[in-house]
């Protein structure tokens, strides 16, 4: 036993040194995950910024000339915003809830009757804004006020409509029972004089100039629109596993756990092949003749594999952090790394038993790796994997390794959520290590 | 010190070692002579604990079985095929193997330098084995078996695929090790190597130990007579009594007294051109024992050697 404490590290050091000197193996273990992580992180990062245009839905429930004019004004003034029109209220509000649009503007019935007319009660607009997009809220209100100001300007120039509105107003006031007669008389008189003023207004007189920030600096004395805010709770968009995608802070959050898997698979395969290579190059004979037990030989390989996997994951985490990845649950990383390394060390021991030639072992191992990675989220991220693949993926250790890393990085796993992948990884590792090392020990002890 | 008692080993239907027994004492080089496939490597594998005998028993110096890891400390094996880490340097290889035997610190450094010197690789000690020639690898392969200074050495065809200088170097080393008191088993299919290095030789074929004795005594017992050949172009006169029949311009005969025979022929007035006297050697012994010549039996070995050289370069 005391012997093992010296010999296992001796054996492992030799293997790590050989790995370090083997350019090809080093490329698979270190180069591939870095390139993979950077490449996929970079392309999905650019997808996001390409999609950064603000999306606002407008629901026209009024379907009047003036509601359509407002929509036209907004579209013309803000061509960079992606305006969604033609949706009904429910669909638009749902889109806000899901985060598909930043805001929904609802123009309710009767909007056109009052919009842009000073003497009427300001028209009621309804606005629903994604609460998580606080920064955009003021901007949306601002452009809405500006649009309403422009609409008012248009309407003022539209004498016919203005006169008709005035007449409507006068009639409304005259027939109002809530106002006292003198008040009614005074208001009607005032409106009539306005009516005259519009009659005398020259054709080409400009409408109201509305400054850009009018919406926000809207004085209390005058409103183009009364905006009623519709309270919405943001129903966040979740991935296939139910984690809010808004948790993802950078593209590296997804690309790095995925890329790390390829380094881990590279490690496991390299060490499985190296055991077979020792057989081919004859060095295994010397290990077998030396005064050490077969279990020690297997232990040396296992330790080397374990250390290499830990190093690869650590390297990827350091690199990701340098690029801006910020694990939400850093305390889950250490157990995650250890369980993952343990699991793939066990898998390495099993893979090493499957063949007698390097070609056979590496061929079989990479075949298995690709299948494990495909269903486990090593190729397409777990977050977007179709459900049938997710189900098959349950048997892939790759899935659990990615899950535990993602749990720490962006899925914000609690300890109890992390317990499942940690237990699966440790359990698979234990079974595989016992199975693999038992077979290897038998193979090594000459009982062929 | 080494004792092999009635060991058997088969691979499926191939009986690789049948009932072989031998003993070895310190300061002795025992030749294990046999053609390719005779079972030499299998026997060494049984002694080294790489294989488990189907029957029989091996006792290492110190009394342990080769299946016991601690007992294996007393033996060093230079396998037939090169057994080195190509990615490590000569020094790193030796240091790694030394550590497996528990050597540390100053003791380790001393043994590693001694073995590098023995292999004549001091100037290349920090070069990777991958850059070595076949001969250099062979020398390192032997040195790696010696790094823990074991009393028993198993050398399996240590000269396969090496150049003549390396061969001579290896012979010197083996003789030196013997003089230091090591017990050595030297497996080879080269009769010349066995007779040069070994006092005693075990002749094996098809897994069987055909004979085990001093080289001289084997030749006495199985070598038979010397073979004399003279070239005689013209038909010899009737008057002279030839020791053998005249055929194709030569006369061949076997005798225990070759020089006397030739002297008598010369005195009788016979004149001839060339004389060849072939004294009995291990080759003849092998021929007697198996009905085949060692060279023919090992014919396929030559191609294997060629492969070895290629692989080693
Ligand atoms: N691993 C093995 N599996 C099956 N047969 C083997 C194996 N190793 C050796 N043999 C057979 O055992 C016999 C003895 O081989 P070996 O001990 O290598 O002979 P040698 O070393 O004298 O050339 C040969 O017939 C060989 O083919
Ligand atoms: Mg052999």
Q: Is the CB of B241 under 6 A from ligand 1?
A: no
Residue A332 in any domain: the answer is yes
**Beta carbons within 8 Å of B296's beta carbon, 6+ residues apart:** none
Q: Are B85 and B41 contacting, i.e. CB atoms less than 8 angstroms apart?
A: no
B159, B245: one domain: no
B65-77 pLDDT per residue, tens:
999 999 999 999 9
Residue B242 in any domain: the answer is yes
A174 touching chain B per CB within 8 A: no
A356 Cα to the center of ligand 1, angstroms: 17
Helix (H) or strand (E) holding A171: helix A159-174
pLDDT tier at B17, thresholds 50, 70, 90: very high
Output DSSP code: residue A244.
B
Report the pLDDT averaged over residues B89-95: 97
Residue B303 scores a pLDDT above 50: no
Report the pLDDT averaged over residues B195-217: 91
Cβ–Cβ of B99/A10 closer than 8 Å? yes
Output DSSP code: residue A123.
P
Residue B140 scores a pLDDT above 70: yes
pLDDT of residue A50: 41
A88, A29: one domain: no
The strands making up B183-188's β-sheet, listed across from edge to edge, are B55-59, B2-11, B14-24, B208-214, B200-205, B29-33, B183-188, B152-156, B75-78
Residue B112 in any domain: the answer is no
Choice between B106 and A206, residue whose per-residue pLDDT is larger: B106
- Find residues 180-219 of chain B whose CB sits inside 8 Å of chain A: none
pLDDT tier at B226, thresholds 50, 70, 90: confident
Instruction: Identify the residue among B51, B54, B66, B69 best suited for mutation to test binding to A, counting A beta carbons within 10 A and taking the highest.
Output: B69
pLDDT of residue A446: 66
Q: Are strands A124-129 and A226-230 parallel, antiparallel or unpaired?
A: parallel
A382, A357: one domain: yes
End-to-end CA gap in chain B: 38
pTM: 0.74
ipTM value: 0.83
Residue A204 in any domain: the answer is no
Residue B306 scores a pLDDT above 50: no
Choice between B164 and A218, residue whose per-residue pLDDT is larger: B164
Q: Could you say which ligand is closest to the alpha carbon of residue B78?
A: 2
Residue B249 in any domain: the answer is yes
A335, A223: one domain: no
pLDDT of residue A196: 65
Domain that holds residue B42: 2-74+150-220+284-312
Share of chain B above pLDDT 90, in %: 60
pLDDT tier at B279, thresholds 50, 70, 90: confident
Contacts of B102 in chain A (CB under 8 A): 3, 6, 291
Q: Whose CA is nearest to atom 1 of ligand 1?
A: B11
A6, A90: one domain: no
Residue A172 in any domain: the answer is no
A27, A80: one domain: no
pLDDT of residue A119: 59
> Domain holding A136: CATH number?
3.40.1710.10
pLDDT tier at B50, thresholds 50, 70, 90: very high
pLDDT of residue B49: 93
pLDDT tier at B270, thresholds 50, 70, 90: confident
Overall number of domains in chain B: 2
Per-residue pLDDT of chain A (448 residues; tens, 9 = 90+): 456 678 999 999 999 999 999 998 999 899 999 999 888 888 776 544 444 578 899 999 988 888 898 899 999 988 888 898 889 998 998 888 877 788 899 988 888 877 766 656 667 788 888 877 777 778 888 888 888 888 888 877 776 666 777 777 777 777 777 777 777 777 777 777 666 665 655 444 444 443 444 444 444 445 667 788 887 776 666 777 777 777 777 888 888 999 999 999 999 999 999 999 998 899 999 999 999 999 999 999 999 999 999 999 999 999 999 998 889 999 999 999 999 999 999 999 999 988 888 999 999 999 999 999 999 998 888 888 888 888 999 999 999 999 999 999 988 899 999 999 999 999 999 999 999 999 998 888 765 4
C-alpha Rg value of chain A to the nearest Å: 35
Look at the block and give the residue holding tokens 């000459």. Answer: A446
Overall number of domains in chain A: 2
B155, B269: one domain: no
Question: Which residues is B183 bridged to in the sheet?
Answer: B152
Residue B224 scores a pLDDT above 90: no
Residue B130 in any domain: the answer is no
Cβ–Cβ of B52/A283 closer than 8 Å? no
Q: Is the CB of B39 under 6 A from ligand 1?
A: yes
- DSSP per position, B226-242: EEEEEE--SPPPTTS--
B301, B216: one domain: yes
Helix (H) or strand (E) holding B208: strand B208-214
CA distance A284 to A282: 5
A149, A259: one domain: no
pLDDT of residue B183: 96
Report the pLDDT averaged over residues B137-160: 95
Each residue of B90-101: b (16+ CB within 10 Å) or e? bbbbbbbbbbbb
Pocket probe mutation, ligand 1, options B31, B37, B297, max atoms within 8 Å of Cβ: B37
B72 touching chain A per CB within 8 A: yes
A262, A398: one domain: yes
pLDDT tier at B240, thresholds 50, 70, 90: confident
B229, B215: one domain: no
Around Cβ A417, how many Cβ atoms within 10 Å? 17
Region class of B206: left (phi > 0), else alpha (psi between -120 and 50), else beta: left
Contacts of A18 in chain B (CB under 8 A): 85, 87-88
Q: How far is CA A320 from CA A36, A253, A418, in A?
A: 12, 8, 21
Question: Which residues is B33 bridged to in the sheet?
Answer: B188, B203
Domain that holds residue A287: 2-43+251-444
B69, B7: one domain: yes
> Domain holding B202: CATH number?
3.40.50.300
Q: Which of A161, A151, A224, A159 is nearest to A196 (CA)?
A: A159
CA distance B202 to B186: 10
B273, B291: one domain: no
Residue B106 in any domain: the answer is no
């Amino acid at each position: 036993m005391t012997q093992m404490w010296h010999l296992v590290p001796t054996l492992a050091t030799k293997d790590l040194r050989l790995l370090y000197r083997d350019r090809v193996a080093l490329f698979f273990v270190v180069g591939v995950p870095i390139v993979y992580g950077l490449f996929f992180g970079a392309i999905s990062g650019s997808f996001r910024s390409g999609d950064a245009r603000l999306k606002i839905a407008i629901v026209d429930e009024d379907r009047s000339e003036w509601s359509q004019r407002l929509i036209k004004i907004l579209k013309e003034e803000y061509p960079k915003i992606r305006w969604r029109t033609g949706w009904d209220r429910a669909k638009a509000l749902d889109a806000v809830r899901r985060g598909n649009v930043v805001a929904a503007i609802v123009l309710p019935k009767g909007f056109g009757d009052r919009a842009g007319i000073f003497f009427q009660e300001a028209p009621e607009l309804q606005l629903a804004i994604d609460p998580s997009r606080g920064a955009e809220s003021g901007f949306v209100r601002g452009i809405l006020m500006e649009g309403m100001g422009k609409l008012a300007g248009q309407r003022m120039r539209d004498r016919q409509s203005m006169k008709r509105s005035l007449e409507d107003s006068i009639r409304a006031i005259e027939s109002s029972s809530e106002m006292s007669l003198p008040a009614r008389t005074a208001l009607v008189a005032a409106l009539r004089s306005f009516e005259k003023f519009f009659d005398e207004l020259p054709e080409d007189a400009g409408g109201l100039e509305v400054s850009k920030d009018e919406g926000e600096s809207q004085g209390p004395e005058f409103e183009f629109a009364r905006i009623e805010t519709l309270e919405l709770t943001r129903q966040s968009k979740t991935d296939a596993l139910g984690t809010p995608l808004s948790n993802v802070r950078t593209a590296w959050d997804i690309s790095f756990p995925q890329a790390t898997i390829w380094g881990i698979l590279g490690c496991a395969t390299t060490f499985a092949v190296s055991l077979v290579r020792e057989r081919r190059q004859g060095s295994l004979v010397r290990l077998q003749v030396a005064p050490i037990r077969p279990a020690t030989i297997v232990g040396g390989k296992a330790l080397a594999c374990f250390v290499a996997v830990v190093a690869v994951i650590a390297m990827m985490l350091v690199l990701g952090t340098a690029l801006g990845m910020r694990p939400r649950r850093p305390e889950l990383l250490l157990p995650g790394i250890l369980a993952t390394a343990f699991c793939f060390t066990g898998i390495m021991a099993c893979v090493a038993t499957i063949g007698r030639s390097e070609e056979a072992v590496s061929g079989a191992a990479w075949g298995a790796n690709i299948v494990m990675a495909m269903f486990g989220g090593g190729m397409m991220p777990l977050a977007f994997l179709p459900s049938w693949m997710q189900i098959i993926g349950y048997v892939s250790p790759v899935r659990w390794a990615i899950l535990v890393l993602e749990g720490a990085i962006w899925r914000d796993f609690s300890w109890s959520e992390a317990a499942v992948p940690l237990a699966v990884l440790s359990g698979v590792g234990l079974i595989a290590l016992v199975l693999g090392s038992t077979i290897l020990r038998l193979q090594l002890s000459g009982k062929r | 010190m080494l004792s092999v008692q009635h060991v058997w080993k088969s691979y499926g239907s191939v009986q690789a070692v049948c009932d072989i027994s031998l003993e070895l004492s310190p300061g002795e080089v025992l030749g294990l002579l046999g053609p390719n496939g005779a079972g030499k490597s299998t026997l060494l594998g049984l002694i080294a604990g790489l294989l488990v005998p189907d029957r029989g028993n091996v006792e290492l110096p110190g009394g342990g079985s080769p299946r016991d890891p601690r007992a294996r400390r007393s033996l060093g094996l230079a396998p037939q095929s090169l057994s080195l880490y190509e990615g490590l340097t000569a020094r790193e290889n030796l240091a790694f193997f030394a550590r497996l035997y528990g050597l540390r610190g100053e003791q380790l450094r001393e043994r590693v330098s001694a073995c590098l010197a023995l292999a004549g690789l001091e100037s290349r000690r920090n070069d990777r084995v991958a850059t070595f020639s076949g001969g250099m690898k062979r020398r390192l392969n032997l040195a790696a078996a010696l790094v823990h200074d074991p009393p028993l050495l198993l050398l399996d065809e240590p000269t396969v695929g090496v150049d003549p200088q390396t061969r001579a170097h290896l012979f010197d080393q083996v003789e030196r090790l013997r003089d230091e008191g090591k017990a050595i088993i030297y497996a080879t299919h080269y009769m010349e190597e066995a007779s040069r290095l070994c006092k005693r030789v075990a002749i094996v074929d098809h897994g069987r130990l055909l004979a085990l004795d001093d080289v001289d005594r084997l030749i006495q017992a199985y070598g038979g007579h010397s073979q004399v050949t003279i070239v005689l172009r013209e038909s010899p006169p009737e008057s002279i009594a030839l020791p053998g029949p005249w055929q194709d311009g030569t006369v061949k005969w076997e005798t225990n007294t070759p020089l006397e025979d030739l002297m008598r022929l010369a005195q009788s007035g016979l004149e001839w051109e060339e004389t060849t006297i072939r004294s009995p050697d291990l080759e003849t012994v092998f021929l007697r024992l198996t009905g085949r010549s060692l060279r023919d039996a090992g014919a396929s070995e030559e191609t294997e050697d060629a492969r070895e050289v290629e692989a080693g370069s």
